[in-house]
Amino acid sequence: MKHTVTILAALLLAPVVHVAAGPSETGQLRAEFANPPFRYHARPLWFWNGKLDAEKTRTMLAACKESGYYGLGILPTGEMGVPFMTPEFLNQYQVAVEKAAELGLKLCLYDEFWFPSGSAGGLMAKQHPEALGKRLDMLAVDVTGPKAVEQAVPAGTFMGAVAMNMATKQRQNITDKAKDGKLLWDAPAGAWKVMLFTCVRDGGGGLVDYLSPEAVQCFIALTYQAYYDKFPAHFGTTIDSAFYDEPAMYHVKGGRAWTEKFNEKYQQKFADDPLLSYPALWFDIGPDTAAARNALFGLRAELYSTGFPKTVNDWCRAHRIQLTGHVDQEELVNPVIGQAGDLIKAFKHQDIPAIDQVFAYGRASRAYKVVSSAAYNYDRPLVLTECYGGINNMPLANLYKEVMDQFAKGINVMVPHAVWYGSPKVHFQPDLTPDAARYGPELPAYNNYIGRLQRMLQGGRHVADIGVLYPIATLQAGSWFGPGDPYQGCVQVPEADYMNLGETLALQLRRDFTFVHPEVLDEKCVVKGAELHLENKVNSEAYKVFVMPGSRTIHVSSLKKIKEFYDNGGKVIATTRLPDSSAEFGKDQEVRELIASLFGASAGKQADFPRMAASSAWAGGGFDPGKAMDGDVESRWNAADGDKSPQWLELDFGTAKTLGRTVVREAFDRTRAYRIQAWDGTRWSDCIKGGRLGAEKTDTFAPVKASKVRLCIDAIAADSVSIAEFDVLDAEGHSLARTGGAPGVQANAQGGKAYFLASPHAGALKAALDDALSVYDVTFEENVSVRGGNLSYIHKVIDGRQVYFVGNSSDAAVDIHVRLRGRLTPELWNPHDGKVGPGEFEHIAGKDGTILTRVHVRLAPVHSVFIVDAANGTNESKQN
């Protein structure tokens, strides 16, 4: 499990507005950087895991202030000695509120007893069982007609009945054939599947129905309102924020969270009957499958977003505080079934999007950009992380590594996990209590570091050349109820490469970007010349390249906007799989025509580079087959977790190649029997057999012509198969896995270009980007390979000033030159000690007459720096 809480204050109760900085503002910024105001310091989670005592509460709060913490978020536990939400508990809470007010500390209202949010410590089940989570059930009966069908309607709210011809996928709404609890229907000739759908109370975990605002109001009354009734004067002052923790749909059996009002909501949104689409939640229903799933799962995600976060956020705003909080399992590639339905849209109505990064260093790395992009999409100035919890023996350096990695990806509010009331009785290390032996002495310096980062990076405007479509349409189209574990995402969508693509951009190529939700693309993005502009009031962005990650399904409106961008000279890159179906009914052909007009010959050619496939892959994502051919031994393909059965990894060339050697690098020494197989167009044949693979195993065999080659793992010693690299070479030793010439590209007279990369490994992606962009916003001249961490950056415009944060969380020093677009006068601001010094720089001419500022940056291991433009210039300057 994971946990969470709080925020930073000061900026919370008023909108963040930035104007061009004058001399006085610049002087204030320097002064506040040297000595960051207390309000920018970290605010940890505070587990009340010991018997409450008023004097101890006061003493701990004073110690937290002394260590540099600006506030805390109280998380009640069963070890408090008083029952949750009783008068005794609220009296003890009031002690903390009043002492915090005296000390000038802030409190964030954690809305639950333990976690996840939604049970009110068991009070929901006791007092409002009718408001607990619901699920959708299906009773399916196979019938061969002609035949009279008689079937009792299952208990629950009857949503309707559908009969589907299994040969033609023709569907009939036969709901009107159900009367008095019984379905009577005369099945015509043919094989039919008769399906009855009911919404029933599930109540998993005693949690509220997240899809129902009315149910959530019951939860609010038991928690939020009870706190407010006890100390209303402290809301908007000492209590400035609230936090929810880990709501998710997997708590309902099968992830089938539903609501009795679903059909009514569907009618309101689409002016149509949803029943003929219901079978797509379990089965392939033919050409309508993708559109039906997008309509149903898309509405469910919207109901979650408006049902839980919006309902709570509205209450918080009405009571002068702001809402933050995170869902569970953010790092999953597919959020549709078991998570919140749509990870970006989940934060549409929330003041402060948030993420959970616990249990292991970098565990949620792939999701940082999704959550910070939600903030960019919806013009939110703050993005929060709950960090560190559940990591035993965490190195002291990791306090800073996590911050650098996350803040470089757009996070800007740090909530350390955690301070412990019952320290040293700690449930989840590390113990960040002020008197903790290992971490306590570091807290003052740590809080100053956090203070400087949060002062510099909160609010403002994010700058990135690259926009990436958030591929929710293909995720919804590829999802259905039934398979897999909802906690792990249920369905692995084969073409969904967006998270891996994001990591390649951010950490390998070091090119910043923003995920753009399809609705935001429709509603807020405007084509201006050869750029696509996100037109927010504060966070406006201008994309010179727009990326379509692997998708089988896409919204027609998204594709039309991308086509308009291309027609005006914009650069478009598509990866892995080009879409051929629409998220809307009856528009598949329109999608295919638009794709053909964008990518030309590449539209029907899904293999410009070799493609990888595998028998299985790790359900949580991040270890897909392509990782075994990206040339990076630090990444890897991993088969399904714990699956010891035989596995295979396949390389498809698209056309016949002559091969004679393979090189396999295994991540762990687990393989005990393997084979290399070749496909001649009709059958597989063994090229060679072996036992162990180990760190590197080269096999040479008689040259064979094949269009595909497989590494078959027939036996392993433990856990599951994990391959770092699988390379296939011809008789002369040339790699066949990482060659293939230039990517498929089509250009137009306006300068627009559309690239298709069937295998978007780092080299292919870099080649396309280098061809698309003459000058990047930020360029690291040296292609530094780091271990134990990352080298990454973010560029923001804060107070009208160009600000670049560069973090080296790795275990080695780096000495690099960074090119910044525009004529700048850079200074180096050191967040570790608050010192400001001149930058070592020169102005050079880039392509197309653009002026670049070349800055020399030296960073020790686990160190970072701000590059700040002292002249308050622009990063769009042109050479005269």
Residue 60 token pair: 């701990």
pLDDT for 703: 92
Does residue 606 register a pLDDT over 90?
A: no
CA–CA distance, 416 with 425 (Å, rounded to integer):
18
Question: Across residues 388-401, what is the average pLDDT?
Answer: 96
Per-residue model confidence as pLDDT tens digits over 489-519: 888 899 999 999 999 999 999 999 999 999 9
Query: Per the omega criterion (within 30 degrees of 0), is the bond before 430 cis?
Result: yes
Among residues 813, 794, 790, the alpha carbon closest in space to that of 805 is found at 794
E-state strands within 580-690: 581-582, 611-614, 637-638, 647-666, 671-679, 684-690
Q: Is the pLDDT of residue 286 over 50?
A: yes
Dihedral (C-alpha) 616, 619, 625, 630: value to the nearest 10 degrees?
Answer: -160
Amino acid at residue number 738: R
Give one word for 246, left, alpha or beta, with left for phi > 0 and alpha for psi -120 to 50.
left
Residue 42 reports pLDDT greater than 80: yes
Q: Which of 206-220, 417-431, 629-643 has the lowest mean pLDDT?
A: 629-643
β strands within 717-800, DSSP E: 722-729, 744-747, 753-757, 778-780, 791-798
Question: Do the Cβ atoms of 833 and 805 come closer than 8 Å?
Answer: no
| pLDDT (mean) for 298-325 | 98
Residue 6: which pLDDT band, with cuts at 50, 70 and 90? Answer: very low
Please return the burial class of 189, using the count of CB atoms within 10 Å of its CB with bins 0-12, 13-18 and 19+: exposed
Is the bond leading into 424 cis (omega within 30 degrees of zero)?
yes
Query: What's residue 607's pLDDT?
Result: 44
**618 falls in which pLDDT band (50, 70, 90)?**
confident
Q: Model confidence over 764-779: pLDDT tens digits?
A: 999 999 999 989 999 9
Name the nearest CA neighbour of 15 among 452, 322, 337.
322
Query: pLDDT tens-digit profile of 804-842?
Result: 999 999 999 999 999 999 999 999 999 999 999 999 999
Q: How far apart are CA 149 and CA 141, in angstroms?
A: 9
- pLDDT-derived band at 627 (thresholds 50, 70, 90) equals confident
End-to-end CA distance of the chain: 58
Q: Which residue do the tokens 């019938």 mark?
A: 143
Q: Specify the pLDDT at position 879.
A: 34
What is the rounded CA–CA span in Å between residue 876 and residue 848?
A: 12
* pLDDT for position 10: 36
pLDDT at 353 over 60: yes
- What is the Cα–Cα distance from 182 to 180, expressed in whole angstroms? 6
* pLDDT score at 835: 97
CB 626 within 8 A of CB 549: no
The span from the CA of 872 to the CA of 531, in Å, is 24
Tokens describing residue 178: 């159900």
